[in-house]
Amino acid sequence: MLPELDDLNRPYWTGGAEDKLIMLRDRNTGLLVHPPEVLEGDAGDYAPEPVSGKGVVFSYTVNHQAYRPEVPVPYVIAIVELNEQRHLRLPTNIVNCPIEDVHIGMRVRVLFEQHGEIFVPLFEPDD
């Protein structure tokens, strides 16, 4: 399922058009935040900022269940921690890599899969 775009999440989901992974930085704390949404009671002042798109596999699992016929199994579902900030983690898929080669601590880089105006960030090995 693709997200519904709004003013806050648009930079994240459309940055791939320029081959950029864009996160929100809280101007008050200096921290990058993800997901790109404001929680109730949050008074953060956020600004979009491109990041390197590089990180490491923090955790992963291999999915063997075909939930959607257009998505062939098996595939890797991972949590990638970005280099810019400890604990800044994105749920994603690892692609362009044999499943048996995926491991915790593996260095990865972003690439994008386009769906109309939305660019889904995926990650591949960064040799």
Element spanning 46, H or E: strand 46-51
Residue 79 lies in a domain: yes
Compute the average pLDDT of residues 71-85. Answer: 96
Dist. CA 61–CA 57, nearest whole Å: 11
Give residue 41's pLDDT. 58
**What tokens does 103 get?**
């491991």
Q: With contact defined as beta carbons under 8 Å apart, do 118 and 2 qualify?
A: yes
Residue 51 lies in a domain: yes
Q: How many domains does the chain have?
A: 1
Give residue 43's pLDDT. 62
**% of the chain exceeding 90 in pLDDT:** 76
The identity of residue 62, as a single letter, is V
Residue 91 lies in a domain: yes
Residue 22 lies in a domain: yes
Q: With contact defined as beta carbons under 8 Å apart, do 26 and 33 qualify?
A: yes
Q: Residue 46 is part of which domain span? A: 10-125
Q: How far, CA to CA in Å, does 53 sit from each of 80, 108, 113?
A: 10, 8, 14
Residue 114 lies in a domain: yes
Give residue 69's pLDDT. 87
pLDDT in tens, 6-49: 988 999 999 999 999 999 998 888 999 888 776 655 666 889 99
Please provide the DSSP assignment of 73-116 as one string.
SPEEEEEEEETTSTT-EEEEEE-SS-GGG--TT-EEEEEEEEET
